[in-house]
Amino acid sequence: MTAHVHDNINYLKTSKGLKSWLTTVDHKRIGLMYLASILVFFITGGLYALLFRLELWTPNKDFLSVDQYNNFFTMHGVIMVFLVVVPGIPGALGNFVLPLQIGAKDLAFPKLNLTSLYLYWLGAILAVISLLAGHADSGWTFYAPYSLSKNPAVMWMLTAAFLLGFSSILTGLNFIVTIHKMRAPGMTWFRMPLFIWALYATAIMQVFATPVLGITLILMLVENFFHIGIFDPALGGDPILMQHFFWFYSHPAVYIIVVPAFGIASELIATFSKKEIFGYKFIAFSSVAITVIGFLVWGHHMFVAGQSEVADTIFSFLTFFTAIPSAIKVFNWTTTLYKGSIELRTPMLYGLQVLFNFTIGGLTGIILAILSVDIHLHDTYFVVSHFHYVAMGTTMIAFIGGIHYWWPKMTGRMYNEVVGKFASLLVFVGFNTVFFPQLIMGSQGSPRRYYHYLPDFQIFHQISTIGIIILAVGLFTALINLLMSLRRAPDAPQNPWGARTLEWEFAETPPVLFNFKETPVVTHGPYEFAKEGA
């Protein structure tokens, strides 16, 4: 192994050339490749959203046909869910940070990790093929029987989602084993950073829920090809069975999307308050509690689909339960801020946005869990706004905050702080301008996914469309700010934020090939700011 010669060199410099990246088993490089891929798809999915929001400027046709409109919101949904928010934080930041934070040399299965990335790329390629094969227009939920109409674009999409699911399972498996078996000496379970707890809870859902999506997609493909009649009512099948299967995965998937974001929020809020996080164990276990409850609430997506009243009541009741661990997090973050020495650096600005947006995203979820209210709100813009407050307002904002937080560690460079703060302000204003009006028009009954809408709702659509332009400007400013830093000479100190976790205290910036020059020995918790010197 020639690698030994370069053991103590910065991981970006150990070897050069495209081939060295494509064949690497280093979790840090794999994380960076995920990051680049995910950002490309985030921009793609975002452009789709920008285009159909512009179309919605007036209630009638502006520049997209009905078909194109249906295709655009489907592509936006599929790309954002399967290629961005589900793999996003674990694939990019989890991969890079997890071994560093627990003091391991790599993930337990480095080659499997690379396999996950290749499966992700393969899934992405199939999604692009789908784009060329026609108009996928089923929405990201692929509901039967519409998705069984042999539309080749939808079939490519189903296959893509299957491969992406496989990739997600392998990542989750890798994370669970790594967290159990690879922790450095002294890194007890309760000294693990909360980001690790969040990734752990997420990984459990990835491993146990995703295979159900896998079999659902297989059955739908087989149904498309051979017309077996499992889901197709015309052949004696049951389309609601498909919804049950789909949401058995896709509800936990919502938590796969959001729980890692909670982890990042905990890191940001504790580090930039320079204060021991309030209720560490409660936050840690609330992630696990969300995982457990998350498996038992899928029926709340089918309140108006003809489910029995008994099932409706039970699912509604269980859904209320998810409020408890979610609220624990929000309260504990807020309490951490109280009397902390708050430093408003760029990552922290995103951390605070998460706190704000998730409070709205979470509370609107409770409103939707009320049976009688849901009958009115189901399939309106209220639902769209609710899950965007979670998937975009919480997950993507935390993701962007996390990128700003770990960027110096990844690249060795600091970005422009003033531009970074300005961008985060634009993102905050833009995001809320897009989605707050949607809450209002949804509560007034404006249905989602419609090409034509009542003229009464035009003002809300127009505010929303203005919002997405502000949001896009903010996101591009943030991206350009980050990329510009790469042109500078490496200037980041080892621990620019004064954080107490291993990746900042022990690892160099950027880390060496096997992360640490010698195995770190952990002697304190992740947020012990009062005691100086480890």
Partner 1 sequence: MASTTLQEHEVAHHFDDLEQEFESQKFGMWLFMASEIMMFGALLVGGLFLLYLHPDAFAESRPHLDWRLGALNTFFLLTGGFTMARAAGFAQQREQGKVRTNLILSLLLACGFLVVKTIEYKAKFHHGLLPGHAFHGEGFTSLHAHIFFGYYFVATGLHALHVLIGMGLMIWCLKVSKRVQFTRDYYTPVEFAGMYWALVDLVWVFLFPLLYLVG
Picking from 485, 327, 339, 331, the residue whose alpha carbon sits closest to that of residue 419 is: 485
Nearer CB in complex with partner 1: 63/226: 226
Q: Is 520 helix (H, G, I), strand (E, B) or coil?
A: coil
**489 binds partner 1, rule: CB under 8 A:** no
370 contact partners, CB below 8 Å, separation of at least 6: 316
Strand partners, 447: 380
Distance of CA 146 to the CA centre of its chain: 28
Cα separation of 80 and 510, whole Å? 30
Please tell me the distance from the alpha carbon of residue 474 to that of residue 420, in angstroms, as a whole number: 9
Question: Which of 133, 228, 327, 342 contacts partner 1 by CB under 8 A?
Answer: 228
The correct pick among 42, 53, 84, 106 for binding partner 1 (CB under 8 A) is: 106
Look-up: residue for tokens 């790599």?
A: 106
Of these, 9, 40, 66, 218, which contacts partner 1 (CB under 8 A)?
A: 218
Contact residues for 174 (Cβ-Cβ < 8 A; gap 6+): 107, 108, 109, 112, 113, 116
Size of the site for partner 1 (CB under 8 A): 44
Q: Which of 38, 207, 297, 482 binds partner 1 (CB under 8 A)?
A: 207
Return the structure tokens found at 217.
């997609």
**Using the rule CB under 8 A, which residue among 216, 291, 316, 438 binds partner 1?**
216
Rounded to whole angstroms, how far apart are CA atoms 42 and 80?
7
* Interaction of residue 322 with partner 1, rule CB under 8 A: no
* 6 contacts partner 1 (rule: CB under 8 A): no
- Give the interface segment with partner 1, choosing from 83-91, 214-222, 325-333, 371-379 (CB under 8 A): 214-222
CA 449 to CA 162: how far, in whole Å? 25
Phi, psi of 452 (to 5 degrees): -95, 145
- Residue 521 in the binding site for partner 1 (CB under 8 A): no
Of positions 16, 19, 181, 339, contacts partner 1 by CB under 8 A: 181
Binds partner 1 by CB under 8 A, chosen from 40, 215, 459, 484: 215
Q: Least distance (Å) from partner 1 to the CB of residue 497?
A: 27
Query: In whole angstroms, how close is the CB of 103 to partner 1 at the nearest point?
Result: 12
Q: Does 534 bind partner 1 (CB under 8 A)?
A: no
Q: For the CA atoms of the chain, what is the radius of gyration?
A: 23
Min dist CB 227 to partner 1, Å, is 3
When the beta carbons of 150 and 452 are compared against partner 1, the nearer one is 150
Q: Does residue 366 belong to the site contacting partner 1 (CB under 8 A)?
A: no
Q: Is residue 363 close enough to count as binding partner 1 by CB under 8 A?
A: no
Q: Which is nearer to partner 1, 182 or 327 (CB)?
A: 182
d(CA 251, CA 103): 33
Binding mask 40-69 for partner 1 (x = CB under 8 A): ------------------------------
Nearer to partner 1 (CB atom), residue 157 or residue 213: 213
Whole-angstrom CA distances from 331 to 34, 61, 141, 281, 336 are 32, 46, 33, 14, 9
Distances (CA, A) of 199 to 81, 170, 189, 493: 18, 14, 13, 27
Judged by beta carbon, residue 306 or residue 533, the one nearer partner 1 is: 306
Binding to partner 1 by residue 145, rule CB under 8 A?
A: no
Q: Measure Cα distances from 308 to 143, 180, 281, 304 in Å.
A: 20, 41, 38, 10
The reply on whether position 177 binds partner 1 by CB under 8 A is: yes
Q: What is the rounded distance in angstroms from the CA atom of residue 240 to the CA atom of residue 36?
A: 38
Considering only 2, 5, 132, 236, the residue that binds partner 1 (CB under 8 A) is 236
Pair 121, 523: CB distance under 8 Å: no
Whichever of 112 and 292 has its CB closer to partner 1, that residue is: 112
Binding site for partner 1 (CB under 8 A): 1, 3, 104-110, 112, 169, 173-174, 176-178, 180-182, 207-212, 214-216, 218-219, 222, 226-230, 235-238, 241, 245, 248, 514
